[in-house]
Chain A
Amino acid sequence: MSNSMKNIFKSPNRRNLLKMSGAAVLTTPFVSRAWAATTEINMLAWYGHGEPDIVAEFEAANNVKFVSKYYAGGDNMMALIAQSPPGTYDIILSDGEFVQQLNAAGYVEEMNAADYPFDDMLHEDFTKFPGHWSEGKLYSMMVRGGHLGVSYNKNAISAEEAQSYSCFWKPEIKGKLGHFDWHLPNLGMISLYNGNGSSLWNLDDAEWAAVQENTLSLRPQVGGYFDYGGTFNGLKNGEMLAMCGIGDWITGVLEKDGAPVGSVIPKEGGIQWTESYSIGKGTDKADIVKKFIQYMLSPVGQVKSAQMLAYPGFCITKAGRAALIEADPAEAKRSHQMDGMANEPISLINDGRIHYRDIPKQQSLEDWNDFWSEYKNA
């Protein structure tokens, strides 16, 4: 050891300490990563869409880097966009029903339908998905979806009981029913429970009153209202034995982790969440964004979406599904994405048991949200 180094260790005065720590900082991976002149794409999305398991391949092949801003809800997303200068976000991933809001407020660019595989969709509805088109023009491209229904702990609720939302009222789970803290899917489920079927979002005054009444009757069962993190913890730790307002996108992850939970579509019907990509208004990278969206709709991208680490979604193209069955038959089986399986998503839609999540028609979002606050305080 040289003399000067020995000195550093002998008398740790300030200057030497700074020298040492400076050296330590420089060896961290942060600085040693080569920053080539890559294009940066700013993405606004739910957590997970900008992570390596989804974007790394595309980044490497196209010399781009995704810079992601994650939100925790469509309202978060809208607030962010509203306050950011146009062109801040190049690509926006949003829930299907928020696309209407995005468009109404002028935050997205028009897209060219010919660029996307509309001829390969697994279901006809996906080709003209509500809210994604306006006056014949395409503004948002559907990428994946998932189903919401009864999510339950298999040790507390049997598979037969789970076939109906009525299991939420089961006395044995009093105080152990959780709600995902968002009015839309929860009230939608109660609406389905009331038998409103496909007009679940289109409630007249009497039907809306009935939904409110039944919801309030559920209050004694409720153990809490949770966001993403709280929901996971509640179900995993067994604090909550059933959850209203979620589906496989949460229980799928927990199942893979070994928890005794699952989600099914009950006989009253389930709700579909859909995620779609839009091109941010004012972006100067529309071409590469378009290329990425096409990539996510290609078989490779669809498989990635189905295997997404953050939360799974199902493939929406035929080629995508075929690729998934070949690449990851276990996951395809788990998520019922094989023709002929019970609970296969497309056949569920065809049977009319799935209803796309939408915003209420005859009440305002405010009305539903106000009631949700009342419900919490009840």
Chain B
Amino acid sequence: MFNKKFLKIDIYAMTWRSPIIVWQLLFFVGPVIFMIAMSFFLVKNYRMTEAFEFVNWSKMFSKNYFWDSYLYTVTIASISTVFAMTIAFPASFTLAFKTSEKLRRWAIFLLIIPFFTSYLVRTFSWFVILSENGVINALLGYIGFGPYVMLNTNFGTLVGYMTLTLPLVVILQTITMANIDRTLVEAAKNLGCKPFATIWRVIIPLSKTGLIVAAIFCFILSFGDFVAPFYLGGSQEPTLPILILDTTKSGQQWPRAAVVAIVMMITLFAVAFTGIALAYRKKAKK
């Protein structure tokens, strides 16, 4: 009998597969392509006009401040990622292995709360905590230290990045580590593995995928954030997101801002793809 199923379009599969394609094509791919096109537009009389010129690209790439900003942004975002992952790890470890499931669930719920409060408002709170006449310096003053300048420095920027990324990183790390195969950890212990060695050689490799995903998210968030380096770092130095906004002050130079954005996008794509490849790479069988 002729196999009808071969010809029939699998409606079931298509139902699940198509929504995202349609939606993203319309509302994601469209704007992105438009943004790429925008980088070739010209600005005449403060109005963007459609064109196909390379002048925006050549101008941007010829500026020293662009490359300075680029290098600085990559550096500070990397530092932020390392900090966040390191600072979060002991906390996530505790939540994953040393607390009950119920407590862990509550802890994760608590950590979701910052997402519901305004990031901007939280950043502004730091002004009073970190300023030279602020809380921390006042406390340090009682024991005879300081005052230390914390705002408008790299330190301030990092504090801002931590505010943005720490909750997410802790959540992702905790979920990952809580879901690894406990029997393997047990086995390692039974075989006499010391605690730190267990962490380093058993737990982390088992959690590799989740940890790398957490790191990628952290890098992407820090890289694209405008608020922390601007308000807490005083634009010292300016990062690429700040540069995007600044460029638009050159009399509506959105095409040139698009150039910066595309460079940022390509960098982040590269980071994301490398990371995911690393995360999902299967170890070669010996």
Indicate, yes or no, whether A interacts with B.
yes
Q: Are the CB atoms of B230 and A373 closer together than 8 Å?
A: no
Count of interface residues, chain A, beta-carbon cutoff 8 Å = 36
Contacts of B231 in A (CB 8 A): 229-230
Interface hub of B124, B235, B249, B252 (most chain A Cβ within 10 A): B249
**Min C-beta distance of B198 to chain A, whole Å:** 45
Instruction: Please name the residue on chain A nearest to B63 by beta carbon.
Output: A370
**Min C-beta distance of A71 to chain B, whole Å:** 12
Instruction: Please name the residue on chain B nearest to A367 by beta carbon.
Output: B250
Binds A, one of B78-86, B128-136, B162-170: B128-136
Q: Are the CB atoms of B152 and A75 closer together than 8 Å?
A: no
CA distance A377 to B63 in the complex (A): 11
Q: Are the CB atoms of B63 and A227 closer together than 8 Å?
A: no
Partner of A75, one of B124, B131, B151, B251: B251
Q: Are the CB atoms of A175 and B251 closer together than 8 Å?
A: no
Partner of A377, one of B46, B64, B234: B64
Contact flag A377-B251 (CB < 8 Å), given A224-B152, A227-B230: no
Is A374 an interface residue, CB under 8 A from the partner?
yes
**Min C-beta distance of A285 to chain B, whole Å:** 25
Is B216 an interface residue, CB under 8 A from the partner?
no
Contact flag A238-B131 (CB < 8 Å), given A101-B251, A224-B152: yes
Instruction: Please name the residue on chain A nearest to B234 by beta carbon.
Output: A224
Partner of A369, one of B48, B230, B235, B250: B250
**Min C-beta distance of B225 to chain A, whole Å:** 15
Q: Are the CB atoms of B234 and A366 closer together than 8 Å?
A: no
**Min C-beta distance of B77 to chain A, whole Å:** 17
Contact flag A365-B250 (CB < 8 Å), given A224-B234, A374-B65: yes
**Min C-beta distance of A153 to chain B, whole Å:** 12
Contact flag A370-B248 (CB < 8 Å), given A101-B46, A229-B231: no
Query: What 4 A-B pairs are tightest by C-beta distance, nearest first?
Result: A224-B234, A224-B152, A369-B250, A365-B251
| With A224-B151, A237-B132 already in contact, 17 other A-B pairs whose C-beta atoms are closer than 8 Å | A78-B46, A104-B45, A175-B149, A178-B234, A182-B249, A224-B152, A224-B233, A225-B234, A225-B236, A227-B230, A230-B230, A233-B127, A238-B132, A239-B132, A364-B251, A366-B253, A370-B250
Q: Residues of A at under 8 Å CB distance from B?
A: 73, 75-76, 78-79, 82, 101, 104-105, 175, 178, 181-183, 222-227, 229-230, 233, 237-239, 364-366, 369-370, 372-374, 376-377
Interchain Cβ contacts under 8 Å between A and B, 6 examples: A104-B46, A226-B235, A227-B230, A229-B124, A238-B131, A373-B63
